[in-house]
Structure 1
């Protein structure tokens, strides 16, 4: 769950992104795992989902770092945070994210997906590549 004010807007990185609605200080906590807003799914949960819901989880979910087999799905603005190889946040801790430098109001929040997802690798023409599979990017005009 994001614990700083944010908004979703157009991103030069990928379609839409997550932006700071107020200044954020270096070292400030910006996200905390909150099971009221961050759903934890088991492999059986995933297998039982209809295709549309499973596609949503594949797009926005990621593996929990210290609880093998669980997939985290954020249901707040946090799911719109884009990847950067030079991020302004740190998500190496499984239940807390921090700003690694001052972030101005209106600046896009970014993270390194590889910090919390060992199967992550960027692929040209794809949104992401996860554990050997990737879906095509969303159709033009569709905001995910």
Structure 2
């Protein structure tokens, strides 16, 4: 992460990443740094323990330019939650930007499909998205 952030409870899913300072639209907030982020072999998705596989499904994504590797971010970025209406832009894959001004204390949200074409929602979010699409609110209305 290139901006100050903190991890806290999220209405979207478990915990999330929040801005610890105001972030202006267009600010680069994240940069893929292979020397800092952890790269692991894709084969671990099938050869490691079930607990490790679950961790990888939740926190790892394909390494840019290397289809045989996965990225696990070491900073708060790995805790960023998915949104259908993100306030960040990761379409460049190796860089993330603020789509709009983001207030201090606001959760940073991204669209996982921008950097992981095989992204699937976790089961805990499926019912929330289904309810939202059908016009029904569930729980706290978060997605």
**Shorter-chain TM-score range:** 0.7 to 0.9
Correspondence for 1:30:
29
1:74 aligns with 2:73: yes
Question: How many pairs does the alignment contain?
Answer: 126
Cα deviation for residue 48 of structure 1 reads 5.2
Q: Which has the larger radius of gyration?
A: 2
Are residues 1:126 and 2:124 paired? Answer: yes
Whether the 8 Å CA contact 2:85–2:111 is kept in 1: the answer is: yes
Whose helix fraction is larger, Structure 1's or Structure 2's? Answer: 2
On the 8 A contact 1:66/1:94 being kept in 2, the answer is no
Kindly report the root-mean-square deviation, in angstroms, between the aligned alpha carbons of the 2 structures. Answer: 1.9
Secondary structure at the counterpart of residue 124 of structure 2: coil
Provide the TM-score with structure 1 as the length reference: 0.78
Q: 1: CA distance between counterparts of 2:121 and 2:46?
A: 25
Please give the alpha-carbon distance, in whole angstroms, between the structure 2 residues aligned to 1:66 and 1:92.
Answer: 14
**Higher deviation after alignment, 102-111 or 47-56:** 47-56
Match of 2:53, SS state, is helix
Structure 2-normalised TM-score?
A: 0.78
Q: Which has the higher mean CA deviation after the structures are superposed, 112-121 or 78-87? A: 112-121
